[in-house]
Structure 1
């Protein structure tokens, strides 16, 4: 099998308004869809970030049931030139950088958390190449 990319990624949350404030207002992701007590979806480059209320989606009948618990992880890619700017934007928003990792070729990534405790990461393009 050959895939082009992961088109959508999902996080499970407990407050749609808090997710909207963080991902839309702070990180600037456009909202695609919001359904009270179920989900909020964001555009992230050519991908989609799905945020679901797990108590709702684990009882799905029209789609396969899905849910998760605990600290989930996703990484957002930026250009290598913009890495420091994006990291500084997070800091200026009052978002704590919990860890910065140096990888091959001197590339760095930084970790931070969303309001739900999920581990998010900013990675420069080329880190997996």
Structure 2
């Protein structure tokens, strides 16, 4: 039987690309892999990519150069949730980093398997989570 190997890409839709890029690069410490006027891609650990799309800029089919193909229209609304995996020993460092950027921690969870989560918002009000091992059976 065919099986899934993981989640390769996760996407968030943002109102202002410059503000979103500033947040994800300055606060979260990510470096862009590629970008254009409608999106920015960031590698997040091994085998995972975070895509930021400008709201409304993905509603038409994208024709890629040559014979590469097309990307169908897509979009998302509302306040989306995304969790980033972190090492347990960096949790205090992340709390300090968020505080230094005046990012409010909205919630904390101590999970039954021993993991911990911190919750906060990005400039588009998406709920972000920093999670240590012990959240899920596979993490």
SS of alignment partner, residue 71 of structure 2: coil
CA contact (8 A) 1:24 1:42 kept: no
TM-score norm. by structure 2 comes to: 0.85
Q: How does 1:110-121 map to 2 (within 5 A)?
A: 110-121=118-129
TM-score by length of 1: 0.91
2:79 matched residue in structure 1: 71
Structure 2 segments unaligned to the other structure (5+ residues): 63-69
Other structure's SS at 1:57 match = coil
Supply the RMSD in Å over aligned alpha carbons: 1.4
Counterparts of residues 1-129 of structure 1 (less than 5 Å): 1-36=2-37, 38-46=38-46, 47-61=48-62, 62-129=70-137
More helix by share: 1
Report the count of equivalent residues: 128
Q: Hey, what's the Cα distance between the residues in 2 that align with 1:22 and 1:34?
A: 15
Q: Structure 2: how far apart are the matches of 1:84 and 1:25? A: 18
Q: 3-state DSSP class of the match of 2:24?
A: helix
Secondary structure in structure 2 of the residue aligned to 1:85: helix
Higher Cα radius of gyration? 2
Correspondence for 2:67 = none
